[in-house]
Structure 1
Amino acid sequence: MTWNAFHSRGEILRAVTVAADARRDGSLPLDVDGVRHVFADELELLGALQLRWHTRLAGRIERELMSQPLDLEAAVVRAWQQTAEDLPGIRAIIDQHRAHPLDDAMAEAMGTATAKEHTLLAVMAGRAGTLDTGAAAVGAAIEGRARATRRPGRSPRHLGNPRLLDRIRAVLAA
């Protein structure tokens, strides 16, 4: 892939993300200019969106664990919720295509991606190891907790009540 193609793909993916966030209906924004030129099919676009979700989630988990290392599971739940808040359109697309894949190839890809995400959640929460056969089930329960306790538009970073560690940092910085 040339630099121009890579750059173009990134810009189109950003446009797709903006469209998905505006729609939040779970449908792939195939009507965005350039999508059909850059992505071979729905599965390739979905894979790129899944990668964007996973990358953002992993980064959020790392940041949460740095600021709140004592309650690993709560940090992972908050990270999942914040990522869902940051990428609501992508989360809706993933959920839609996880529940209703377009074909067998998409069903298999979504099953693999979901298992990997759930394993990440379980491992980062300190509840399983990467080779544990039950890690995906543990991670699914953690995702369930994140969904059940999520209040859209009111994730912890949107509340006007900073955490104790953030207040201490602000005082020390002053």
Structure 2
Amino acid sequence: MTWTSFHRRGEVLRDVIASANRRRDGRLPMELTGVAETFGDELVLLGALQLRWHTRLAGRIERELLAEPMELEDAVVAAWHATADELPGVRAILDRERTAPSTPASSAAMAKATAKEHVLLAMMAGRVSTPDDAAARVGAEIEDRARATYRPAPLPADEPSTLLGRLKAVVAA
């Protein structure tokens, strides 16, 4: 991958994430300009979004653990909540692909990624010490707790109703 294609991929992925976060409908935005040319197919884009979620979650967990080193599981749950607030559209896409995968390949990819995420949650919460099936089960319990206690951030207000939104609309016209 060349430097130019690397940067182009990053730009397109940012556009995909922004669109997904606005829509929050759980569908991959394959219709966006540059997506098909950059990622090729849905599975590759899904993998990129899964990687973005996983790395953001891992970073959030690290920051939360710095703030609450004695309450490890609470910190992990808080990190899951914060990541879901930062990437609500990505989370919706991943959830949709987990529950109703579009292809057998995406089903397999999501199963593997989910198991790895569960292991991460369990290990960072200090509940297990080895990345095995038991860790995946414990991590699933932690994710269930995070989901049960999650209160999504409200959708942003329609921008044109704000002063800044009205100014942007006037300048764009």
TM-score normalised by L of structure 2:
0.87
1:30 paired residue number: 30
* Aligned residues with identical type, % of pairs: 62
Distance 1:123 1:10 in 2: 30
Residue 130 of structure 1: how far off its partner (Å): 2.9
Matching residue's letter, 1:44 = V
Q: Name structure 1 gaps, 5 residues minimum.
A: 155-174
- Displacement of 1:18 after TM fit? 0.4
Mapping for residues 31-110 of structure 1, pairs under 5 Å: 31-110=31-110
Could you say what the CA RMSD is over the residues aligned between the two structures, in angstroms?
A: 0.9
Alpha-carbon distance in structure 1 between the residues aligned to 2:85 and 2:122? 20
- Which AA in structure 2 matches 1:53? W
Question: In structure 2, do the counterparts of structure 1 residues 8 and 64 end up closer, same or farther at CA, with 3 Å as the change threshold?
Answer: same
Q: CA deviation at 1:151?
A: 1.1
How far has the Cα of 1:153 moved from its partner? 1.7
Consecutive unaligned residues of structure 2, counting only runs of 5 or more, are 155-173
Tell me what 1:112 maps to. 112
Letter in 1 for 2:24: R
Structure 1 residue 104 displacement after superposition: 1.2
Contact 2:123–2:131 (Cα < 8 Å) also in 1 = no
Q: Do the aligned partners of 2:119 and 2:131 also contact (CA within 8 Å) in 1? A: no
Name the amino acid aligned to 1:8.
R
- Give 4+ residue runs of structure 1 displaced > 6 Å after superposition: none
CA distance in 2, matches of 1:45, 1:132: 28
- Alpha-carbon distance between aligned partners in 2 of 1:112 and 1:8, rounded to the nearest angstrom: 28
